[in-house]
Amino acid sequence: MNDISINIPDKKEPSAVFRWGILVFVSLAMFGNYYIYDSVSPLADVLSKQLNFSDSNIGMLMGIYSVPNIFLVLIGGIIIDKIGTRISSLIFAVLCMLGAIITAFSGGELVIMAIGRLVFGLGAESLIVAITTVLGRWFKGKQLSFAFGVNLTIARLGSFTAFNSPTWAKSLYADWHAPLLLAVGAGILSVVSIIIYWGMDIYAEKNYAMHPVPKQDEFKFKEIFSFSSSFWYIVLLCVTFYSAIFPFETFAVKFFIDEHGVTRGEGGFLISMIKIFAMILSPLFGLLSDYIGKRSFMMMIGSILLMPIYLMMNYTHISLYIPMAMMGFAFALIPAVMWPSVALIVEEKKLGTAYGLMTMIQNIGLALFNFLIGWVNDFSGGYSAGMWLFSILGFLGLFFSIMLRKSETGPNGHGLEEGIKKIWMTKNT
């Protein structure tokens, strides 16, 4: 099997249509994943009224998702490198579906619902790592950042659909149970999409000239510390950026209703603006970074946009559409550049481990901030203290992106600041 490209030289490379077909199906799996994750936020006030859940309870439902990933997502990355993306992604997708089923059929019991979210978390982040590794294999050297952007667009459509479900599925929100059945359907979509990807990947291996995926013969824990400083700056930017976005989304609809007097439907649309901007702009930012490079500089811009947003919403009467548009712009810019940058820094045989490590640390931030913000809101009786905490994360994100730029413009850079245009000019000088 490992000599396939040598023994059968007449086989062609997979066509662009086939590669993008792979992307569509793994992205649909992420669509379902994202829908399940964000299915709780539009239900926050319903859970408070019908089940008497406090903000701490709701924060726990979101935060417990991240707890297993603090310990297991790195193992998930190692598993991906050892057994491959096909079987590992199917295992993770099935866990996502099971978690959604447990949550939906919890009978309103907080503990059972939390167990469902925990099972979902066991699979969700590792599934993202597996899919990210798939994209790294299929698109490295072929519009990698653009492919990541398209992937994020389809995935975030899942969040957009979930956040706007109080509008398109309004009748279901008379009860807390019915909207969670939609999340079960999203889990089924993920499993089916991964099965289709599996079949396509096997077909490609048999019928196209595919380079064999290098495997880690033996994982050594100390190799984690062999990653470059640029990788670690990206990891730190990742944890601060996502901790500023996703825990805010947990309470955003409730915050908009309580502090700004909007309806649940309008609140859902406001928070979904983040996804709208990301869906439209992520592929464009990815294509731009492929062409011009300047990846760390683009991450700096995204961090600057994030810093004033929370205080604007908390202390001014400015239209909420303005800060949410700014947040959407940042949410489109940073991930579209950040995730493919790792594939440029880390060798392919360690890519699953690198993404697993990055996601593990990200989930430490997500768990801590979901728990912390829920507790702070209950303790302070309002939202101001939490909004200050989110703002501080924006400043930290700017610091880490500046350090990344300093690292990449030095002698040990990995080419993050170089794009197709610069490489072409160098070759033709």
Q: Could you report the per-residue pLDDT of 278-288, keeping only the tens digit for each?
A: 888 888 888 88
User: Does 359 or 224 have the greater pLDDT score?
Assistant: 359
CA distances from 143 to 178, 287, 352, 390, 420 (A): 41, 7, 20, 33, 10
Give the model's pLDDT for residue 7: 46
- Is CATH 2.40.33.20 the classification given to domain 16-427? no
* Matching residue, tokens 């490609």: 204
pTM metric for this prediction: 0.70
Confidence of residue 187 (pLDDT cuts 50, 70, 90): very high
Choose among 27, 47, 36: nearest CA to 183. Answer: 36
Lowest-pLDDT range, 54-58, 66-70, 269-273?
A: 66-70
CB atoms within 10 A of CB 380: 11
Q: How far apart are CA 296 and CA 409, in angstroms?
A: 9
Alpha helices, H only, 140-228: 144-163, 165-168, 177-207
Q: How confident is the model at residue 115 (pLDDT cuts 50, 70, 90)?
A: very high
For range 11-27, the mean pLDDT: 86
Other CB atoms closer than 10 Å to residue 323's CB: what's the count? Answer: 22
Q: Is 323 helix (H, G, I), strand (E, B) or coil?
A: helix
Question: Can you say how many angstroms the Cα of residue 155 is from the centroid of all Cα atoms in its chain?
Answer: 8
Q: pLDDT, tens digit, for every residue of 367-418?
A: 888 889 989 988 988 899 999 999 999 999 999 999 998 888 877 776 777 7
